[in-house]
């Protein structure tokens, strides 16, 4: 699956597959996902790989999404031919979703949300998805979330500009979260975390029967957060009947700095500041924590739990 895959195509075919230069800005979408389409753009490439797979380049340009872009399919790679910027201006909570994907790689995108964007990129019910060198910015709750997925990799991604949560008057967001259902063997590596949110990376279970196992959190640079740098959190860990599980997570060679603890657990009790750890583990079992560098944490913590 390389550039030779497209040799011999007519100029019309190459335009159809989105492999020509794109002028300035386009508003993109397909009827199936409810956005407006004009010209030769990202959705053409997405629609092609859904049907045929292969390795497809996205033409350089600034793309504006008004409604979510849902990517499905298997055995394909989407990469950027130059700078590809996606700006979301709609109201939905997750503007870019990968759903039921298998053996999929996406690299090089720059994706930004708005004040109504809760989660920017969501990987759902997928296996062997790789997101690499993605720049993520402007989100309320989550930059990238992984739900009910297996053997996925988030590699070399950059996170900026977590947005203010009106409840706390400061950011609350998590850059990367593994959350919900059953997740296995997720690798989060070599990220540059500078969003200034609440959490850099989190693995959570919240409800009965949820399981999250055998993840690797490796060589990330996390700097400037108000709650935790890395968090493993099994909700209701004191209740043996909760049937939740976080096991076999490895946290290795991460650099974690300036985790202030400035945000309170409850907006109704702003004086109680009980966050601020570089790495926080609750209810997780068989966890390996090795060779992590942690500096300047708990700056504003008032609770003796983490003091």
pLDDT tens-place string over residues 111-155: 999 988 999 999 999 999 999 999 999 999 999 999 999 999 999
Report pLDDT for 225.
95
Question: Which H helix or E strand runs over 203?
Answer: strand 199-205
Which of residues 221 and 14 earns the better pLDDT score?
221
Q: What are phi and psi of 179, to 5 degrees?
A: -150, 135
pLDDT tens-place string over residues 171-212: 889 999 999 899 999 999 999 999 999 999 999 998 888 999
For 280, the token pair is 């926080």
Can you tell me the distance from the alpha carbon of 12 to that of 45, in angstroms, rounded to the nearest whole number?
14
Report pLDDT for 60.
86
**Cβ atoms of 150 and 140 closer than 8 Å:** no
pLDDT band at 305 (very low <50, low <70, confident <90, very high): low
pLDDT band at 13 (very low <50, low <70, confident <90, very high): very low
Q: Mean pLDDT throughout 227-240? A: 81
Which of residues 72 and 16 earns the better pLDDT score?
72
For the chain, what is the mean pLDDT? 83
Q: Mean pLDDT throughout 2-17? A: 32
Question: Which H helix or E strand runs over 158?
Answer: strand 158-162
Of 6-10, 162-166, 181-185, 195-199, the one with minimum mean pLDDT is 6-10
- For 193-203, letters b (16+ CB in 10 Å) and e give bbbbbbbbbbb
Q: Mean pLDDT throughout 262-269? A: 82
Highest mean pLDDT among 21-25, 111-115, 267-271: 111-115
How many CA atoms, within 13 angstroms, populate the side-chain half-sphere of residue 216? 13
Look-up: residue for tokens 């809760």?
Answer: 118
**Cβ atoms of 138 and 117 closer than 8 Å:** yes
Decide if pLDDT at 24 tops 90: no
Look-up: residue for tokens 């068989």?
Answer: 286
pTM: 0.84
Neighbours of 160 (CB within 10 A): 18
Report pLDDT for 29.
30
Report pLDDT for 157.
99
Decide if pLDDT at 7 tops 70: no
Report pLDDT for 239.
57
Report pLDDT for 32.
29
CA dihedral (38, 33, 90, 65) in degrees, to 10, reads -40
Distance of CA 152 to the CA centre of its chain: 11
With pLDDT > 90 as the criterion, what percentage of the chain qualifies?
Answer: 57
Report pLDDT for 146.
99
pLDDT tens-place string over residues 292-302: 999 999 888 87
DSSP one-letter string for 64-120: EESS-EEEEEEEEEEEEEEEEEEEE-SS-S-SEEEEEEEEEEEESEEEE--TT-SEE
Decide if pLDDT at 241 tops 80: no
Question: Which one, of 193, 114, 186, lies nearest residue 152 by Cα?
Answer: 186
């Amino acid at each position: 699956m390389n550039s030779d895959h497209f040799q011999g195509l007519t100029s019309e075919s190459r335009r159809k597959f989105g492999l020509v230069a794109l002028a300035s800005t386009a508003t993109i979408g397909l009827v199936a996902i409810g956005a407006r389409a004009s010209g030769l753009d990202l959705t053409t490439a997405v629609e092609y790989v859904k049907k045929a797979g292969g390795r497809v380049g996205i033409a350089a340009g600034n793309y504006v999404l008004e409604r979510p872009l849902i990517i499905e399919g298997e055995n394909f790679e989407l990469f950027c031919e130059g700078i590809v910027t996606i700006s979301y201006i709609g109201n939905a909570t997750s503007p870019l979703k990968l759903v039921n994907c298998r053996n999929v790689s996406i690299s090089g995108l720059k994706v930004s949300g708005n004040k109504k964007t809760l989660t920017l990129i969501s990987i759902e019910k997928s296996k062997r998805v790789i997101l690499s060198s993605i720049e993520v910015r402007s989100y309320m709750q989550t930059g990238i979330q992984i739900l009910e997925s297996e053997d996925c990799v988030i590699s070399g991604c950059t996170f900026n500009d977590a947005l203010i949560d009106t409840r706390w008057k400061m950011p609350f967001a998590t850059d990367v979260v593994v959350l919900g259902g059953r997740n296995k063997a997720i690798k989060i590596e070599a990220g540059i975390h500078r969003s200034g949110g609440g959490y850099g990376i989190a693995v959570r279970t919240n409800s009965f029967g949820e399981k999250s196992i055998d993840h690797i959190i490796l060589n990330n640079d996390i700097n400037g957060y108000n709650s935790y740098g890395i968090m493993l959190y099994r909700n209701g860990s004191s209740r043996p009947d909760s049937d939740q599980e976080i096991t076999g997570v490895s946290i290795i060679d991460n650099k974690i700095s300036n985790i202030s603890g400035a945000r309170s657990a409850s907006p109704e009790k702003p004086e109680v500041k009980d966050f601020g750890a570089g790495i926080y583990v609750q209810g997780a079992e068989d966890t390996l924590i090795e060779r992590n560098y942690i500096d300047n944490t708990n700056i504003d913590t008032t609770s003796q739990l983490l003091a």
